[in-house]
């Protein structure tokens, strides 16, 4: 029997500060009330929270900093104000040290529950958030870096070799980046409102060309949003064309999510336009990595309506409910495509799935004249490249009402790849998937197909090798040929004009 699928941890001690108008206790109370009212809380296993110990906090912070924060409950309000002034955009309440220890402890309880197999995945609803806090500094409403501590803890306590941190909060989690920038065992992905450094925290370090240092080069992925108003299509496009291929190549043993919902519509900080149901998709797309071991920890999210809906979408997806139809997605905007192109180029030296990125369309337009590759892909990495680069984006744009998946005998597709495919395709059509198996004596295949259809996480693909050049070329050729009609296949900001040019040439010749 598979373990219960979702844990909910909730830090109950509340602090509020007149100085901070948006990071308010209602963020937690209203989220929790709604989870109870909708019956979602009842379907989760509740795990008690605990305080993180000093030793655990020191996994991501300096002793001097911890000692300084320890004194805050005893300070006069005046001293607290003085203490606060040395940091950026953070407010200290006499209670916040206690709350911050519980927030970090909740993240650790969640990691314990998932790593011991008590539950498959879960979400910790905590305050204060964590991803801005640095080794020796509070910042951006954050005191201790809950997710960074959790990643270190998972490595230390469970010997986890690779941790993927996905930060979909709309701010750059610079604290997480700094903690792991030279560490190849932690892959940190963040998208964030950037506006060419005009948006808080105004760091050069948040741009796409900051990829990590030394051994950690390539393991820090920044996607800067240079315009506000990004929509579902922009987010999903970055998942298909950057995060997912790299994440599958990385092959994490554990996925942690800095789950901030200020990236949703209506948020006063983010000013983006993605709807709460996009978080069901983001969550779902990560749920077949690491054998389903996913821990989401709340970060930002300041529009109560949007926050609560987004939290519910995330929890509901973690529980295994079908994800909503990705209805009426707009094509990614030019600014998003420019960011996408920059990130892919910046990382092409580090990830074989991006090796071909940034090769100019002109080169490919010449390649159009060559013969088409006859068969499908020859191996797993080529196949996954086709899934993320072609199949998923096409699915999102087409929005089918039913997915029919046909498998012929001797397909050459491995069991885990087959399961991944079934899992990923359940992003569409409310999960209505019809599998047609034309098999000989493969009883085991029927079992593992059923298991995937029931929503069990797929086995990992192991660390992927570089795809064969001929596979990559065939996929890219197809992608370039189709992207005039299927905008979700675009990965560069310049395609529309080039495609136009190619069309003209075709008309002339
Ligand atoms: N003074 C999180 O979402 N706001 N933190 C700066 C200009 C700081 C956000 C506004 C926002 C911090 C976890
Ligand atoms: Zn934020």
**Nearest Cα residue to atom 10 of ligand 1:** 200
CA dihedral 86, 144, 212, 235 (to 10 degrees): -110
pLDDT score, position 373: 47
Query: Above pLDDT 90, what percent of the chain?
Result: 77
Query: What is the pLDDT confidence band of residue 228, given thresholds at 50, 70 and 90?
Result: very high
- Is it the case that residue 446 has pLDDT exceeding 80? yes
What pLDDT score does 496 carry? 47
Give me the phi and psi of 464, to 5 degrees please: -75, 145
Measured from CB, residues less than 6 Å from any atom of ligand 1 are 89, 129, 132, 140-142, 169, 171, 200, 260, 262, 269, 299-300
| pLDDT value of residue 504 | 41
The pLDDT of residue 15 is 64
The predicted structure's pLDDT at residue 208: 98
Tell me what pLDDT residue 3 has: 56
pLDDT tens digits, residue range 234-289? 999 999 999 999 999 999 999 999 999 999 999 999 999 999 999 999 999 999 99
pLDDT higher than threshold 70 for residue 291 = yes
Say what percent of the chain tops pLDDT 70.
89
pLDDT at 462 over 90: no
Tell me which of 61, 93, 131, 132 is the catalytic residue.
132
Lowest mean pLDDT of 194-198, 364-368, 472-476, 485-489, name the range.
364-368
The predicted structure's pLDDT at residue 242: 98
Whether residue 497 is predicted with pLDDT greater than 60 in this model: the reply is: no
The CA 435 to ligand 1 mean position distance, Å, reads 47
What torsion do the CA atoms of 18, 258, 393, 431 make, to the nearest 10 degrees? -100
The question of whether 132 is a catalytic residue gets the answer yes
Torsion of CA 237, 241, 243, 247, to 10 degrees: 140
pLDDT over threshold 80, residue 86: yes
- Residue 327 clears pLDDT 90, i.e. is over it: no
Contact of 140 with 89, CB cutoff 8 Å: yes
> How many angstroms does the Cα of residue 441 sit away from the middle of ligand 2?
53
Closest residue to atom 13 of ligand 1, CA basis? 300
- pLDDT in the model for residue 128: 94
Quote the strand ranges of 314-421, DSSP E. Answer: 403-407
pLDDT of residue 161: 98
At 486, is the pLDDT very low, low, confident or very high (cuts 50, 70, 90)?
very high
Question: From atom 12 of ligand 1, which residue's Cα is the shortest distance away?
Answer: 140
Lowest mean pLDDT among 159-173, 277-291, 459-473: 459-473
Highest mean pLDDT among 76-80, 93-97, 148-152, 454-458: 148-152
Whose CA is closest to 290, among 436, 145, 165?
Answer: 165
What dihedral angle (degrees, nearest 10) is formed by the CA atoms of 450, 237, 400, 364?
-100
Banded model confidence at residue 17, pLDDT cuts 50, 70, 90 = low
**Please, what is the Cα angle at 331 between 236 and 430, to 5 degrees?**
50
Fold classified for 6-318: 3.40.800
Q: Is the pLDDT of residue 392 over 90?
A: yes
Quickly state the pLDDT bin for 6 (edges 50, 70, 90). low
Q: Where are the domains of the chain?
A: 6-318, 359-489
The C-alpha atoms of residue 11 and residue 146 are separated, in whole angstroms, by 13
More confident residue, 180 or 411: 180
Number of the ligand closest to the Cα of 198: 1
Whether residue 205 has pLDDT greater than 60? yes
389-394: average pLDDT: 96
Beta-carbon neighbour count of residue 2 at 10 Å? Answer: 14
What pLDDT band is residue 178 in, cutting at 50, 70 and 90? Answer: very high
CA-nearest residue for atom 8, ligand 1, is 140
Give per-residue pLDDT as tens, 113-156: 999 999 999 999 999 999 999 999 999 999 999 999 999 999 99
Nearest ligand to the C-alpha of residue 262?
2
State which of 169, 200, 272 you would mutate to test the pocket of ligand 1, scoring each by most atoms of that ligand within 8 A of its C-beta. 200
pLDDT band at 1 (very low <50, low <70, confident <90, very high): very low
Rounded distance from Cα 164 to ligand 1 centre (Å): 24
Distance from the CA of 141 to the center of ligand 1, in angstroms? 7
Out of 6-15, 266-275, 285-294, least confident range: 6-15
pLDDT above 50 (res 499): no
Q: Give me the chain's average pLDDT, please.
A: 90
Of 95, 76, 112, 75, the residue nearest 25 (C-alpha): 95
């Amino acid at each position: 029997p598979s373990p219960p699928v979702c844990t909910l941890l909730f830090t109950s001690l509340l602090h509020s500060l007149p100085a901070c108008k948006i990071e308010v206790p209602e963020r937690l109370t209203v989220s929790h009330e709604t989870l109870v009212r909708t019956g979602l809380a009842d379907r989760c296993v509740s795990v008690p929270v605990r305080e993180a110990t000093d030793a655990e906090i020191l996994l991501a912070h300096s002793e001097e900093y911890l000692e300084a924060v320890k004194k805050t409950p005893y300070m006069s309000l005046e001293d607290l104000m003085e203490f606060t002034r040395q940091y950026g955009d953070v407010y200290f309440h006499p209670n916040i040290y206690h709350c911050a220890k519980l927030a970090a402890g909740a993240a650790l309880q969640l990691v314990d529950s998932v790593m011991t197999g008590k539950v498959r995945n879960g979400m910790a609803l905590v305050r204060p958030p964590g991803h801005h806090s640095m080794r020796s500094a509070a910042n951006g409403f954050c005191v201790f870096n809950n997710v960074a501590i959790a990643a270190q803890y998972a490595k230390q306590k469970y010997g986890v070799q690779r941790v993927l941190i996905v930060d979909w909060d709309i701010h750059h989690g610079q604290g997480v980046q700094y903690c792991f920038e030279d560490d190849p065992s932690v892959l940190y992905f963040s998208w964030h409102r950037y506006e060419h450094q005009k948006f808080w925290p105004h760091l050069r370090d948040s741009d796409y060309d900051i990829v990590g240092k030394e051994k950690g080069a390539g393991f820090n992925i920044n996607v800067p949003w240079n315009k506000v108003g990004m929509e579902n299509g922009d987010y999903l496009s970055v998942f298909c064309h950057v995060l997912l291929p790299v994440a599958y190549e990385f092959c994490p043993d554990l996925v942690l999510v800095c789950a901030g919902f200020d990236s949703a519509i209506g948020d006063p900080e983010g000013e983006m336009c993605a709807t709460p149901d996009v978080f069901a998709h983001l969550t779902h797309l990560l749920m077949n990595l690491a054998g389903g071991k996913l821990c989401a920890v709340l970060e930002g999210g300041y529009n109560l309506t949007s926050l609560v809906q987004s939290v519910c979408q995330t929890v509901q997806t973690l529980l295994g409910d079908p994800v909503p139809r990705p209805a009426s997605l707009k094509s990614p905007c030019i600014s998003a495509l420019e960011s996408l192109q920059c990130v892919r180029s910046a990382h092409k030296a580090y990830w074989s799935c991006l090796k071909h990125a940034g090769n100019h369309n002109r080169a490919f337009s010449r390649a159009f004249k060559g013969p088409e590759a006859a068969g499908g892909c020859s191996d797993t990495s080529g196949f996954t490249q086709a899934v993320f680069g072609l199949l998923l984006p096409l699915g999102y744009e087409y929005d089918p009402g039913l997915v029919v998946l046909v498998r012929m005998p001797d397909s050459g597709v491995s069991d885990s790849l087959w399961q991944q495919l079934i899992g990923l395709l359940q992003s569409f059509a409310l999960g209505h998937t019809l599998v047609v198996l034309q098999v000989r004596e493969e009883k085991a295949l029927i079992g593992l197909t059923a298991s995937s259809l029931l929503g069990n996480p797929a086995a990992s693909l192991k660390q992927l090798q570089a795809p064969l050049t001929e596979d990559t070329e065939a996929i890219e050729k197809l992608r370039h040929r189709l992207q005039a009609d299927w905008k979700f296949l675009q990965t560069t900001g310049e395609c529309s004009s080039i495609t136009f040019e190619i069309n003209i040439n075709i008309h002339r010749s």
